[in-house]
């Protein structure tokens, strides 16, 4: 039987306590530790204060085998973590030559003069194992005492993450007898957590004991994460692949990708594979659909452009929406959104045109068309599909959900090409 290893996270910095900075490091650490089979039992955020650091550390070390500490390693006077840990572990600072070279390299790279305070950052407690920081001037430190590992890292997220990935996570995997763990992520859209859970309940109940399913809902859908713990009897990879295959049969319409892929990346992949180009005509989404599509590297291969048509004048002049359509049905109507989708694909010479028109709020609603009344459309050479949405959220969320829905409309349309 493998060991059950538990960890605690300590984040140090007054800015966390005053709410000037949201602690995102802890959630990332919790996820990464979970992936290698280590469970986080407590997260503690404390001030840049030696007494508080020592008290929290003593308590954490009494509860966990691994304590990850972030923050308080900067060169300024209010960064006290290194000095506090040196005293806590009854050690003394000494120059660590490889760390000094790393610090010097950073200043050389940015062509800036190195200050004495930065040179001081290469002085580390004699009793620690230094952890290399190739992205910043504060090296990490690994301490071992009474069976507990304590790792101190900078609070700067990208420095801490690189250190974890390069050094700390591999070290933890080697140091402890951790169970083999493999994760498979399945990305879904179009149904909420509880409905999805109902549809796959029988499958989930029959999962082997060594496989666990997590529902991770977010704005754009629900990520399903299937985690396998090796039981020494089955080939874990094969076991997981078989279960993911069964899941794909149960949710044929909702799965848009496997692995860490966004909806806009999945759509970009579909468009590239089929050599299709796309354009958008946006009223209520105000450019957000275009922004999402173009946030994907290489999107210029399939995204040609967009007309954000907020005023009716722009809808007529730039998209060719007939004046009588606008007069008769209004800007927020099936007829207008269809004309917009068709208009943009014709004017911008793309295979596909998307359109949105709606009342995002908080103002602009009427009794017949209240705030949250939204129309979206998809047009290609063969068909135009329009759908009505209805939201009762904030302006920001109404816009965000509409953008996601129209992106999902492409995905669905490309899955089931209908020739008229």
Q: Which residues bind its own copies (CB under 8 A)?
A: 16-24, 26-32, 34, 39-47, 52, 56, 59, 214, 216, 280, 282, 285-291, 293-295, 297-300, 303-311, 313-314, 317-318, 347-349, 361-364, 395-396, 399
CB of 161 to its own copies, least distance (A): 13
Task: Kindly report the number of other CB atoms within 10 A of residue 164's CB atom.
Answer: 24
CB of 124 to its own copies, least distance (A): 27
Upstream peptide bond of 362 is cis (omega within 30 degrees of 0): yes
Nearest CB to its own copies, comparing residues 175 and 291: 291
Nearest CB to its own copies, comparing residues 124 and 226: 226
Nearest CB to its own copies, comparing residues 128 and 293: 293
Helix, coil or strand: residue 117: helix
CB of 393 to its own copies, least distance (A): 11
CB of 20 to its own copies, least distance (A): 6
94-116 burial, b if ≥16 CB within 10 A, otherwise e?
A: eebeebbebbeebeeeeeeeeee
Residue whose C-alpha is closest to residue 252's, from 207, 190, 193? 190
Q: Cα-flanking dihedrals φ and ψ of residue 142, to 5°?
A: -115, 125
Nearest CB to its own copies, comparing residues 252 and 297: 297
d(CA 202, CA 396): 37
> Exposed, middle or buried by CB within 10 Å (0-12, 13-18, 19+), for 78?
exposed
Rg (CA), the chain: 27
Nearest CB to its own copies, comparing residues 34 and 75: 34
DSSP string, 86-104: HHHTT--EEE-HHHHHHHH
CB of 314 to its own copies, least distance (A): 4
CB of 278 to its own copies, least distance (A): 10
Nearest CB to its own copies, comparing residues 140 and 343: 343
Angle formed at CA 293 by CA 223 and CA 353, multiple of 5 degrees: 115
Nearest CB to its own copies, comparing residues 20 and 97: 20
Angle formed at CA 27 by CA 241 and CA 244, multiple of 5 degrees: 10
> Exposed, middle or buried by CB within 10 Å (0-12, 13-18, 19+), for 191?
middle
d(CA 107, CA 136): 10
CB of 295 to its own copies, least distance (A): 6
Nearest CB to its own copies, comparing residues 121 and 283: 283
């Amino acid at each position: 039987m493998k060991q059950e290893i538990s960890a605690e996270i300590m984040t140090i910095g007054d800015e966390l306590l005053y709410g000037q900075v949201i602690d995102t490091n802890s959630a990332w650490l919790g996820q990464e530790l979970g992936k290698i089979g280590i469970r986080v039992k407590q997260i503690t955020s404390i001030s840049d204060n030696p007494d508080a650091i020592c008290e929290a550390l003593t308590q954490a070390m009494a509860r966990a085998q691994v304590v990850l500490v972030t923050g308080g390693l900067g060169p300024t006077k209010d960064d006290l973590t290194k000095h506090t840990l040196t005293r806590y572990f009854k050690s003394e600072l000494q120059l660590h030559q490889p760390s000094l070279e790393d610090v010097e390299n950073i200043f050389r790279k940015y062509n800036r003069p190195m200050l004495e305070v930065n040179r001081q950052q290469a002085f580390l407690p004699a009793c620690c194992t230094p952890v290399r920081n190739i992205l910043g001037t504060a090296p990490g430190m690994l301490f071992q005492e009474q069976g507990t590992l304590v790792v101190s890292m900078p609070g700067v997220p990208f420095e801490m993450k690189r250190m974890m990935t390069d050094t700390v996570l591999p070290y933890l995997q080697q140091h402890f007898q951790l169970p083999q763990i493999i994760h498979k992520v399945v990305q879904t859209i179009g149904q909420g957590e509880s409905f999805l859970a109902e549809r796959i309940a029988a499958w989930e109940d029959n999962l082997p004991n060594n496989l666990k399913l997590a529902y991770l809902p977010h704005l754009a859908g629900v990520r399903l994460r299937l985690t396998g713990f090796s039981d020494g009897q089955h080939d874990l990879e094969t076991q997981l692949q078989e279960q993911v295959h069964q899941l794909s049969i149960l949710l044929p319409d909702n799965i848009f990708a496997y692995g860490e892929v966004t909806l806009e990346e999945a759509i970009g992949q579909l468009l590239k594979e089929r050599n299709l180009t796309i354009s958008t005509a946006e009223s209520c989404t105000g450019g957000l659909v275009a922004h999402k599509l173009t946030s994907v590297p290489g999107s210029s291969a399939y995204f040609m452009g967009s007309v954000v048509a907020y005023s009716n004048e722009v809808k007529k002049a730039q998209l060719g929406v007939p004046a009588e359509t606008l007069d008769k049905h209004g800007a927020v109507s099936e007829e207008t959104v269809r004309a917009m989708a068709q208009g943009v694909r014709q004017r911008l010479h793309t295979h596909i045109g998307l359109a949105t028109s709606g009342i995002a709020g908080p103002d602009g609603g009427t009794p017949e068309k209240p705030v949250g009344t939204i129309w979206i459309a998809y047009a290609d050479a063969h068909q135009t599909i329009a759908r009505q949405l209805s939201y009762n959220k904030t302006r920001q969320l109404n816009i965000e959900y509409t953008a996601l829905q129209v992106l999902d409309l492409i995905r669905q349309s490309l899955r089931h090409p209908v020739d008229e």
